[in-house]
């Protein structure tokens, strides 16, 4: 490898390229592409929340769609009742956080499958409740809004403006979460995930840590719900549905658990694969998506995020056989195998 290609410079160059692409993309592409990329940002945030609780803290959550749905409904209700956008955003994060915390206070006493069952209840209860509270939620016809139009001093189309707003908020959420999982909280998550007894002996309460992880996940889920409404301009009980939760878990595993980049890749998968499958054969999208899922898990058990590492390993294996860390060794940040055993079993 040439000397000027140090890791630091490569990284800086990559970040610069991505930044330029992210800024220029909406200006040169069609509204459809902008919509799709913005949707990716929305689901990247939802997956990030799921990653906090499942990837970093190792607790099974099958109810993320409920928090996305609550966030979307709060944003929709706020918009229809003329709340300031900022207030909508804050409440869209806070209400799911409170719901998530209340559930976690009870559920975090459980482990493994029992915990998973409690989290399943959220979307299953949430969908009919959303239909019943039709004064607030618009019943099964949902809430249609028309908001987040560009202010008059900005010469941007709707889709471009929404793209920038959503991507900016998503970047902010990612940055905050990155700092969080790399700090003291992140370390306590990792210990609770790996061994609760050790955590306890170090003075870390597994119970409080799990409640915190769930609360954070639901807060981030709520934020993504707000963004969902900004993009789709519509929400209905379908947003909360259990199927969405499962698809989110699948996308997270595909992207790579316990990884920020994995959340982004998972979102790309979540949005892109149905589109590609639809272009191949619209009658068999479920089949094709399933095939892609199996393929990715067979070839890359660590998720898409492990692809560069796998390639890197293959390229450098010969030269640095003595120096490299063993393949798959956890480095505390990313690329830990999907669904570690303590994530599903007590």
| Site for another protein, residues 115 to 154, rule: CB under 8 A | 124, 127-128, 131-132, 134, 139-142, 144, 146
Residue 246 C-beta: closest distance to another protein, Å: 12
**Smallest gap, in angstroms, from Cβ of residue 108 to another protein?**
26
Q: Is 179 in the site for another protein (CB under 8 A)?
A: no
187 in contact with another protein (CB under 8 A): no
* HEC-encoded secondary structure of the chain: CCCCCCHHHHHHHHHHHHHHHHHHHHHHCCHHHHHHHHHHHHHHHHHHHHHHHHHHCCCCCCCHHHHHHHHHHHHHHHHHCCCCHHHHHHHHHHHHHHHHHHHHHHHCCCCHHHHHHHHHHHHHHHHHHHHHCHHHHCHHHCEECCCCCCCCCCCCCHHHHHHHHHHHHHHHHHHHHHHHHHCHHHHHHHHHHHCHHHHHHCCCCHHHHHHHHHHHHHHHHHHHHHHHHHHHCEECHHHHCHHHHHHHHHHHHHHCCCCHHHHHHHHHHHHHHHHHHHHHCHHHHHHHHHHHHHHHHHHCCCCHHHHHHHHHHHHHCCCCCCCCCCCCCCCCCCCCCCCCHHHHCC
Q: Among the candidate windows 36-44, 86-94, 165-173, 217-225, which touches another protein by CB under 8 A?
A: 36-44
* Least distance CB 139 / another protein (angstroms): 5
Binding residue for another protein, selected from 23, 27, 30, 114, defined by CB under 8 A = 30
Number of residues that bind another protein (CB under 8 A): 75
- Per-residue binding string, another protein, 257-276, x by CB under 8 A, is ----x--xx--x--xx-xx-
Closer Cβ to another protein, 214 or 269, answer by number: 269
Q: Please identify which residue in 3, 155, 314, 323 interacts with another protein, judged by CB under 8 A.
A: 323
Q: Whole-number minimum distance, CB 291 to another protein, in Å? A: 13
């Amino acid at each position: 490898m040439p000397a000027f290609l140090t890791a630091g410079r490569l990284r800086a160059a990559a970040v610069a390229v991505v930044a330029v692409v992210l800024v220029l993309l909406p200006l040169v592409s069609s509204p459809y592409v902008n919509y799709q990329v913005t949707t990716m940002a929305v689901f990247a945030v939802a997956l990030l929340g799921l990653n906090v609780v499942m990837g970093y803290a190792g607790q099974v959550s099958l109810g993320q769609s409920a928090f996305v749905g609550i966030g979307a409904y709060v944003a929709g209700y706020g918009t229809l009742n003329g709340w300031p956008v900022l207030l909508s955003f804050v409440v869209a994060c806070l209400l799911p956080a409170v719901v998530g915390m209340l559930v976690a206070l009870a559920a975090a006493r459980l482990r493994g499958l029992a915990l998973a069952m409690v989290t399943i209840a959220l979307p299953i209860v949430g969908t009919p409740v959303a239909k019943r509270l039709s004064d607030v939620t618009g019943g099964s016809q949902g809430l249609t809004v028309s908001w987040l139009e560009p202010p008059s001093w900005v010469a941007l189309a709707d889709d471009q403006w929404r793209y920038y707003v959503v991507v900016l908020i998503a970047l902010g959420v990612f940055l905050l979460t990155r700092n969080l999982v790399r700090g003291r909280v992140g370390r306590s998550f990792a210990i609770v995930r790996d061994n609760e007894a050790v955590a306890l002996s170090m003075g870390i309460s597994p119970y409080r840590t799990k409640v915190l992880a769930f609360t954070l996940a639901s807060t981030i889920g709520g934020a993504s719900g707000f963004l969902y409404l900004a993009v789709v301009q519509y929400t209905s009980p379908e947003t909360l549905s259990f199927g969405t939760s499962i698809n989110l878990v699948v996308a997270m595993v595909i992207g790579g658990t316990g990884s920020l980049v994995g959340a982004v890749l998972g979102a790309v998968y979540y949005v892109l694969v149905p589109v590609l499958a639809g272009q191949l054969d619209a009658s068999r999208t479920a089949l094709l998506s399933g095939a892609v899922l199996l393929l990715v898990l067979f070839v890359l058990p660590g998720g898409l995020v492990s692809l560069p590492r796998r390639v890197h390993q293959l390229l450098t294996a010969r030269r640095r056989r003595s120096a490299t860390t063993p393949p798959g060794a956890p480095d505390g940040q990313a690329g830990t195998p999907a669904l570690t055993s303590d994530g599903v079993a007590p």
